[in-house]
Structure 1
Amino acid sequence: MPESRRLPRTAAFWSVAVLLVLMLAASGVPSPLYRVYQEEFGFGPGVLTTVFGIYAFALLASLLVVGGLSDHVGRRPVLIAAFLLEAVAMVLFLAADGVGWLLAARVVQGLATGALTSTLGAALLDLQRPERPHGAFINSASPGLGLSIGAVAAGLLVQFVAAPDTWVFGVLTVVFVLAALGVLWLPETSARRPGAAASLRPRVHVPAAHRRAYVVALPLLVACWALGGLYASLGPSLVADVFAIDNHLVGGLLIMALNGTGIVGSLALRTSPPERAMLVGALVFTGGVSGTLAALATTSAPLLFAAAVGTGFGFGAAFLGAVATITHGIEPGHRAGLMAAIFVVGYLAFSLPAIAAGVAAGYAGLTRTTTVYGIAVVVLALLAVIGLLRARRTAGSLVPLERPQQVPAQLPG
């Protein structure tokens, strides 16, 4: 296609933002359906979290192998291939009649999402205008928006529509095929450069100038993603089994309460210096998780939802600040690679603890398992607070005090 027919820069930026939200919404769709599959195929919480977790492992493998590929071959080829792979995953969900099909569908979806996560985020950073650097905010807010849309839409369909999986995955199959075609209208924002084959070698690369900030923010990244994994995998089961609310929509709303308010947290702290956003977000996140522990102790559903709102706000602010701090001043040719390094940690935290919780719940029960899980998350968040305060006391600041949206950043699915 001639370059003259490509979308203008601003239109391309917002098109990429829509595609990012769409992809993340698809990754949130299965969460309310897990309980349906659990009842239909007859498996326990351990298998449920394995189906959930294998998606994160596949996504992680994709990030490790192709996370930096678009820095070498261009953004468009990676996006087209990954969107077509997403369409294949939706077809596998449509055909699912047992656990094996679910595992296959989640593996393929994870592979596609991993490629899209780093490439769409890098494209946003490429396309943002210097005078309007909205890339970091959109990257930070889009996971909450996308996952909320996906979870609530799927919850509504499960609660009120016959054969909800057919509806949602049939529509998404068509949408992702159209998305792959739509990428042809996007301008190419990353010049080809040597090293494409070498970039496929699995590795985690954090440039030396960014390692100190990476280490300081690491416990907070783990805490945020680990809690997100718990909500996405066992949140609807927690609502039904511990709080005795047998409504699929309510399970989706709990996920929305966490992820949706993450957008508010990112928006509220978007003009703060990165380290301040990280600090405030970590403290609010800690308070929210503490409220969740109180809700479990009292079996208070209103308190559970209120705590999820507070936790989500802290999540959004903390993640925006943490990623903005880590990626401050990153060179264009290393953007996708550094974001892949961030998401390697994120998706390990998203999957492994949730799988362990699913197994433990079969022996200790959901209430006790979730309580121990919440305490561990609080400890990690506080470790990040201590590390940040110590770093600021010894060095003054990890990065120059600039607004988070002026710093390259990106979130997850």
Structure 2
Amino acid sequence: MTTPELALDHPPRAAAHRPAMSRRGAFWFVGALLALFLMASTAPSPMYALYQQRWGFSATVLTEVFGAYMVGILVSLLLFGALSDRIGRRPVLGAALLLEIVAVLVLALSPGVGWLLVGRALQGIATGAATGAMSGALLDFQPPGSNRGATVNGVAAGAGMALGSGISGALVQFAPAPTALAYLLLVVAFAVALPLVGMMPEPVRTEPRPLPRALRPRRPAVPAGRGKAFALLATTMLAAWTIGGMFMSLGPSVAKSLVSGTPYLVGGLAVAAVTGVGSISQLVCSGWLGRRAVRVAAPVLIAGLAVVAASALGGSAVGFFLGSAVVGVGWGTMFMGGFRLLTGLADPENRAATSSMIYIVAYLSATIPAVGLGVLTTRAGLVTSTLVFAAVAALFSALAWASTSAADPGDT
């Protein structure tokens, strides 16, 4: 019996007639696809309060649901994050889209918190597999000599998270089937994207190899000889994604606690205030060097976090959203600057592996503090946990500023 082999450089004759996008078209399509995956990641955020009312679970369980998504991403990045560097971007993206559709359908039909955990875990696995491939593809297809791939990566992520939470919040507040409609619309969008992946040019040149060997997990990696620089610059992801994790998990609950009634739209806007403003700030500052972006972002984050903490303590919804918008400016600029610095360390043949390593740091930074804050919220309340979060996140922002300043200027 012969072993099946991959021969992606030599497609069958029928594949030669496949309609193809231009490299420029593929670049913008991948950016839109990244935004769509991130829309799906934050779509459940405005629903969490409704799930809590229906199923009666605590803030600890809420952050465990969020954590299930993050753990799924981390496992997937470890196992499949570098896979597209070997078998190509298209196969990985196609498989990830199929799994994402299954995951979102599970979320739409969940009868209880157990199925919600399963759906979020599956969604995390799909998103993790796609993340390395999409980040690598943006770098593959960007205009030569530009940083457009890193810019679009950050803008698409921020815009996707903002649109996901904002649109979902509006649907939960005003539309029928509040815990299903947003998911079903996402299923349609992913189904439309699936054939478009097949139309992309394949930027990865692969060699025929046995299928089991090609699919063997390969760990995401720090570029050779760049370990110290990567560690110093990775503090930017620690700062940005600690904040992102809190706002995606507990942010809607904090916002809702500051207003009367049950305005689910307000919960969605809490996430959108950070990620949407962050996306705009990345566009405005897209011409900045990474080091400058981080140096500006750190003090802006600290100022915004101080306003968020004071607003939670004083019970001011207006102050909370103003502070969240300031945090968004710092979050977007920090994420853009850090991602640009870190991807600048990558070798062309290991772009997905390096991008996956960046996101492992990012999602660990989002998961561990968010779950810890969930436990703290159950025991001490939202106000106390918000104050603790603001203090820790401000410390991480200062660390990112100092570490980036300490890194070799040649790496930044």
TM-score by length of 1: 0.91
Give the 3 Å change call, closer, same or farther, for CA 8–203 of structure 1 in structure 2.
closer
Question: Is 1:399 paired with 2:388?
Answer: no
- Residue 409 (structure 1) aligns with: none
- How many angstroms apart in 1 are the aligned matches of 2:170 and 2:101? 22
Identify if the C-alpha distance between structure 1 residues 278 and 172 changes in structure 2 by more than 3 Å, giving closer, same or farther.
same
Q: Which residue matches 2:405?
A: 389
Q: Does 1:61 align with 2:75?
A: yes
- 1:231 maps to a residue whose letter is F
Deviation of the 1:3 alpha carbon:
5.7
Aligned to 1:20: 34
Match of 2:103 in 1: 89
Instruction: Summarize the Cα distance change of 1:292–1:172 in structure 2 as closer, same or farther, 3 Å threshold.
Output: same
* 1:29-108 correspondence to structure 2 within 5 Å: 29-108=43-122
Q: Equivalences for 1:292-303 in 2 at 5 Å?
A: 292-303=308-319
Question: Are residues 53 and 280 of structure 1, via their aligned partners in 2, closer, same or farther at CA, if it must alter by over 3 Å?
Answer: same
Aligned equivalents of 1:80, 1:201: Cα separation in 2? 18
Displacement, 1:336?
A: 0.5
Q: Could you say which residue in structure 2 is the equivalent of 1:169?
A: 183
Deviations 1:275-301 (A, max 9, x none): 111111122112111221121222221
2:194 pairs with one of 169, 172, 180: 180
Give me the whole-angstrom Cα distance separating, in 2, the residues matched to 1:21 and 1:3: 29
Selected match of 1:269 from 285, 288, 307? 285
Q: Deviations over 1:160-204 (max 9, x none)?
A: 112123322222223222322221111111111469847744634
Matches within 5 A, 1:228-377: 228-244=244-260, 246-377=262-393
**CA–CA distance in 2 between the matches of 1:156 and 1:62?**
31
Aligned to 2:411, the other structure's residue is in SS state: coil
Change (3 A) 1:210 1:49: same
| Distance verdict in 2 for CA 1:324–1:286, change over 3 Å | same
Number of aligned residue pairs: give it. Answer: 396
Letter in 2 for 1:88: V
Name the counterpart of 1:125.
139
Q: CA 1:290/1:127 → structure 2, altered by over 3 Å: closer, same or farther?
A: same
Measure how far apart 1:245 and its partner are: 5.9
Structure 2 gaps, min length 5: 1-14
Match of 1:411 in 2: none
SS at match of 1:72: helix
Could you tell which deviates more after superposition, 3-12 or 56-65?
3-12
Deviation of 1:139 (Å): 0.2
Query: C-alpha separation between the residues in 2 aligned to 1:42 and 1:73?
Result: 45
SS of alignment partner, residue 270 of structure 2: helix
2:157 alignment counterpart? 143
Q: Please tell me whether the aligned partners of residues 20 and 201 of structure 2 are also in contact (alpha carbons under 8 angstroms).
A: yes
* Aligned-partner SS, 1:5: coil
C-alpha distance in 2 between matches for 1:79 and 1:24:
14
Aligned to 1:405: none
Q: Is residue 218 of structure 1 aligned with residue 234 of structure 2?
A: yes
The verdict on how the C-alpha distance between 1:65 and 1:376 changes in structure 2, with shifts beyond 3 A counting, is same
Aligned partners of 1:242 and 1:366 also within 8 Å: no
Q: Give runs of ≥4 in structure 1 deviating > 4 Å.
A: 193-196, 242-245
Moved more, 277-286 or 202-211: 202-211
CA, structure 1 residues 70+260, in 2 after alignment: closer, same or farther (shift >3 Å)? same
For the Cα contact (< 8 Å) 1:29–1:154, is it kept in 2?
yes
Between the aligned partners of 2:342 and 2:188, the Cα distance in structure 1 is 37
The worse-fitting range, judged by mean Cα deviation, of 246-255 and 69-78 is: 246-255
**Larger deviation, residues 240-249 vs 335-344:** 240-249
Cα 1:211–1:243 change in 2 (3 A) is: farther
CA distance in 1, matches of 2:187, 2:79: 25
Q: Distance in 2 between matches of 1:170 and 1:354?
A: 27
Cα distance, 1:322 vs structure 2: 1.1
1:314-354 deviations in Å (ceiling 9; x for gaps):
11111111121122152221111111111111111111211
Q: Which moved more, 1:342-351 or 1:160-169?
A: 160-169
Tell me the secondary structure at the aligned position of residue 400 of structure 2. Answer: helix
Q: Would the aligned equivalents of 1:239 and 1:245 in 2 still touch at CA under 8 Å?
A: no
Verify the 8 A CA contact 1:213 1:398 in the aligned structure 2.
no
Matched position secondary structure for 2:179: helix
> Structure 1 residues 85-94 or 167-176, which shifts more?
167-176
Q: Which amino acid aligns with 1:252?
A: G
- What amino acid is the match of 2:411? V
Residues 82 and 220 in structure 2, CA contact (< 8 A), matched pair in contact too: no
Distance 2:261 2:286 in 1: 36
Of all paired residues, the percent bearing the same amino acid is 37
Supply the distance in 2 between the matched residues of 1:165 and 1:243 (Cα, whole angstroms).
22
Q: 2:395 aligns with which of 374, 379, 400?
A: 379
Return the alpha-carbon distance in structure 2 between the equivalents of residues 172 and 10 of structure 1: 25
* Cα distance in 2 for residues equivalent to 1:297 and 1:101: 35
Q: Distance in 2 between matches of 1:206 and 1:192?
A: 22
What is the rounded CA distance, in whole Å, between the counterparts of 1:362 and 1:232 in structure 2?
A: 17
Q: Secondary structure at the match of 1:164?
A: coil
Distance across 2 between alignment mates of 1:262 and 1:24: 14
| Deviation for aligned residue 1:131 | 6.1
